[in-house]
Amino acid sequence: MKIFLLEDDTSLNKIIKLSLENKGFFVENFFDGYEAANIILNNRYDLYILDVNVLGFDGHKILEIIRNENINTPVIMISAEIDIENIKKSFNLGCNDYIKKPFDFEELFLRIQYHLSYKKEQNSDMNIELGYNFTFNLLEEKLYKHNHEIELTVKEKLLLTLFVKNINKSVTNEMIHEYVWDSKEMESVSMRSIIHKLKKKLKNGMIINLRGVGYKLISIE
């Protein structure tokens, strides 16, 4: 699961990121609203955590951008602001939850679990049959063979999610770079290494190389 975090308090930002990563989430963390706005317009996440008061665009503006893009992903606002008008504004703009600082991390984690489980109920049929007895659950980002889970790393989960969302279609190297590495600088060998490792966890020939273009996940009916 990819979580977007906007929090300008350096210490709190790092604590939330580390805590969620220890729970198995992939977290992209940001400190500045302007940078966050650019990322949101070009990427998709499973849940957003936004601090109300940050540099550049504040959390309310970022929330507005998210909803204007017709993104229905859960958004949790966090803030030291406790006045009812501030809370009302957050909900009017479309947030799903509002947590007042200071808060216990377990409270944040429980709320994340709740919103992701509700999203799961709304998208109950997320098991995608890949053929050769492989199944991938898009919401949980879990790969199964004969109902036995095959362990995936965070980047393998992101990569396979991208492939499954574009099953039997070309996935360019640029798409992989953007989705798995969030367009951050990387060595080309890193991409090839992750793809090679994922191929070994699937049946030979399910992921094919499209020379000069990218890759394709082939589904066998």
Name the segment(s) of the chain with CATH classification 1.10.10.10.
Answer: 127-217
10 Å CB burial of residue 12 (0-12, 13-18, 19+) is middle
Q: What's the pLDDT score for residue 221? A: 59
Q: What's the pLDDT score for residue 29? A: 94
pLDDT along the chain (221 residues), means of 10: 92 95 91 89 88 90 90 91 89 95 92 81 70 88 91 92 93 91 79 94 95 90 59
Q: What's the pLDDT score for residue 56? A: 83
**Sign of CA pseudo-dihedral 200, 203, 206, 210:** positive
Residue 201 and residue 156 in contact, taking contact as beta carbons nearer than 8 Å: yes
Pick among 1.10.1530.10, 3.40.50.2300, 3.90.1150.10, 3.40.50.300: CATH of 2-122: 3.40.50.2300
Q: What is the pTM assigned to this prediction?
A: 0.61
Q: What's the pLDDT score for residue 119? A: 63
Name the segment(s) of the chain with CATH classification 3.40.50.2300.
Answer: 2-122
10 Å CB burial of residue 160 (0-12, 13-18, 19+) is buried
CATH of domain 127-217: 1.10.10.10
Q: What's the pLDDT score for residue 192? A: 92
Q: From its phi and psi, is residue 124 left (phi > 0), alpha (psi between -120 and 50) or beta?
A: alpha
Please state, in angstroms and rounded to a whole number, the distance separating the CA atoms of residues 49 and 80: 14
